[in-house]
Structure 1
């Protein structure tokens, strides 16, 4: 059995055996029954609904982008509204949405399927859920793949992950800038990567564009090389004053559930700063240090107004347990930067081997990886063989 742990928090995983499973090599599919699930509060697992106001359900506002000049007043208002709505409308369920409870639920799946041990492939936030499971139930793990991990520091967890977006965007944007510079004749964004970056920054706060539209589109687009053309066309249109292309967003019903669970788990797992002034200062500093993301990674969210944090003490990942974990990480990941994955590797110590893939994007195995990285993970899943040491592909 290979359990597919989705990211998020808040992403559905019920149909991942059909979606991710279609990409798996046949030798992996021959070895395992693939199992998908919707985590607690998601999709068909008693979905959480905070009954948010329509103005707070705009997918383009998924991230807490500051206003002009770094103003966070509207972010403060939204954060208060979202925290109030979730805690008034989330019922008893909302107090039980945590990563530790997801790990307990995973163990119930193992038990229900009659398995003594469980193998799993966790992606993005799913790596943290998988790491927590491997820490809480080390003897019940078989082959564990953690794909695109973040820093498991128990003092920061979700708060630290959001702040890491700033580093991730700076790591990854040069890939897009080089790609666009090679196509300057098509898009006219600049003949060098530096010129493309300058074009982006010159238009990112343009009053002729919807607020933060270019920054939000950029951060979404750099997850995968396949969306580089959409970002380039958006920047070209913005520069020329042409109609802007449509950037796909999730349907409202899916978004409101994902956003509610993302908020609840992130706020329940760890304590966040409560001072509004703290966020105002942090955004001002972050805008200078990381201009691509304009202060978003340091901005205030509903967690600043969450009533009880944390629900229980966060898990400290340690080397205690069997050496049966393989991590894979791209070198230039916008969401879970490589340095943060190294922190996860350090926390696990002898239990882990890390495969660092010299490419960019979010997700490594069979997504933004390469033949070397893919083959290493496949071999581990099929026969349990890992590299003797950490490797670079």
Structure 2
């Protein structure tokens, strides 16, 4: 499911011989129409380059960032057919010419997230040395923002509030959600038409190779977070000889059988563990928040707020659904813990304002939120088969909700349109590389990450031969690169700047837990957003 949007954790190459590498598939991969189409598109992009200039006002980027576009085929099997433009952003490397190592491309996940903001990361302390060596490049994947944008419903109706969020929905509530999922899937098909089937993870990987060529890079330096690790793994499988350096931050389990239905089941279970972490922390700081001295007491405080909001939404717009969305953030990022606990505490004492400020939908974000959800839905529904009988979803998630009630059904409703999707479904690619085919790549993971459970990082390391796994022990923030853990950041810098990794794997002690007293400081450390 999609993550909560936030700012959370995130030797020179030779002459840049643009276009000298054809987009050849990995050994053993059929030389099909799509791989030939990728090669054609990459050659065209290498010749055209990216005409960087001023960014449109709609991007809301400072003048220090340059913007451009790259053309890619809508359908790689027909490279001479319809083409779409992907928006790209860049800030040039700030170091001396001898430090320069080329372009560094970043994707924050989703599906449905843009990294057009990414060049600004060079101004953050954790990224300054990397920014001296690399051009920092962001882009909006197909469907996102101005890159052939997708939509499945009127944005003005997307952030409807207040809403309910029953932990154990009734049969009537399930029927209502089924009808909504069918309508949403139909809206995606109606508003996009036959082009909808081309919004896939495999095409995101092919687009990445075209972007590489357009940037004049013989080999790609890339960091993907969350969902970005999945199509990054597809890229490594399809184009291993095109990889220079790759970082996989908070890795999706790429196993065919997990994409995407079972991945979401595993995610819902992991969210329960991370929700427990937050409650245990709040209980340890009962003197500050007054939510209860045990995790169970904190859960009772949350339930009291949920029931009160069901009867009378805060500010007329924050109901149980908005409360749930706000507190889902605590399962992603522990720097949400203090502000959310404070808002819950204030609400139960009669002050609604902090909760409204943190949980109320923002009308100005409706268009972007609807677009991101449309891309998320299209990509995940197109990528793989899903159960088409609601009885399967009902059976699996009713059982799961007995053990993991916090997020299970909310996750179901996010993904249920895939049960009623029209058009062909792909069979997921087998992610795997042979030893020696891929340069060393770096995998970063937090042991208690809920959005991308840690088992996925271990599975990815097993499949990409020569990958090195860096683990932040006993921590659960989603997206650890460029965050508060100096040990993780040292491994990241050592790899990106010098190409060096530990021999096999390494671990880092957890970053400190949030300080409940320094609420302003802990509320929003400026780091890179990650979504899945």
Q: Give the TM-score normalised by the residue count of structure 2.
A: 0.68
CA distance in 2, matches of 1:60, 1:334: 26
Aligned length: 389
1:245 counterpart (344, 352, 356): 356
Structure 1 residues 67 and 292, CA, compared in 2 at 3 Å: closer, same or farther?
closer
Q: Is the 8 A contact 1:233 1:245 kept in 2?
A: no
Cα shift readout 1:114-140 (whole Å, capped 9, x = no counterpart): 221111010111111111111110100
What residue is the counterpart of 1:265 in the other structure? 379
What residue is the counterpart of 2:392 in the other structure? 278
The answer to whether 1:352 aligns with 2:467 is yes
The answer to whether 1:163 aligns with 2:265 is yes
2:444 counterpart (303, 309, 328): 328
What residue is the counterpart of 1:306 in the other structure? 421
The answer to whether 1:371 aligns with 2:486 is yes
The answer to whether 1:380 aligns with 2:495 is yes
Structure 1 residues 238 and 67, CA, compared in 2 at 3 Å: closer, same or farther?
farther
* Alpha-carbon offset, residue 279 of structure 1: 1.8
Secondary structure at 2:443's aligned position in 1? strand
Cα shift readout 1:125-158 (whole Å, capped 9, x = no counterpart): 1111111111110100011000011111223313
Secondary structure at 2:447's aligned position in 1? strand
Tell which deviates more after alignment, 78-87 or 330-339: 330-339
Q: Which has the larger radius of gyration?
A: 2
Structure 1 residues 375 and 58, CA, compared in 2 at 3 Å: closer, same or farther?
farther
Map residues 169-318 of structure 1 onto 2, 5 A cutoff.
Answer: 169-201=271-303, 203-204=305-306, 207-208=310-311, 210-237=319-346, 239-240=348-349, 242-243=351-352, 244-247=355-358, 249=361, 251-299=365-413, 301-310=416-425, 312-318=426-432
Structure 1 residues 67 and 173, CA, compared in 2 at 3 Å: closer, same or farther?
closer
Q: Is the 8 A contact 2:269 2:400 kept in 1?
A: no
Structure 1 residues 20 and 59, CA, compared in 2 at 3 Å: closer, same or farther?
farther
Structure 1 residues 375 and 390, CA, compared in 2 at 3 Å: closer, same or farther?
same
1:50 counterpart (129, 132, 152): 152
CA distance in 2, matches of 1:269, 1:287: 26
Give the root-mean-square deviation of aligned CA atoms.
2.5
Secondary structure at 1:301's aligned position in 2? helix
Q: Is the 8 A contact 1:332 1:360 kept in 2?
A: yes
Q: Is the 8 A contact 1:99 1:265 kept in 2?
A: yes
Tell which deviates more after alignment, 229-238 or 355-364: 229-238
* Alpha-carbon offset, residue 294 of structure 1: 4.7
CA distance in 2, matches of 1:165, 1:306: 22
Structure 1 residues 280 and 129, CA, compared in 2 at 3 Å: closer, same or farther?
same
CA distance in 2, matches of 1:66, 1:95: 33
Task: Structure 2: give runs of 5+ residues left out of the alignment.
Answer: 1-102, 314-318, 509-532
* Alpha-carbon offset, residue 24 of structure 1: 4.2
Q: Give the TM-score normalised by the residue count of structure 1.
A: 0.90
Secondary structure at 2:481's aligned position in 1? helix
Secondary structure at 1:245's aligned position in 2? helix
CA distance in 2, matches of 1:44, 1:25: 27
Structure 1 residues 33 and 78, CA, compared in 2 at 3 Å: closer, same or farther?
same
Structure 1 residues 53 and 119, CA, compared in 2 at 3 Å: closer, same or farther?
closer
Map residues 34-45 of structure 1 onto 2, 5 A cutoff.
Answer: 34-45=136-147
CA distance in 2, matches of 1:52, 1:85: 9
CA distance in 2, matches of 1:328, 1:289: 28
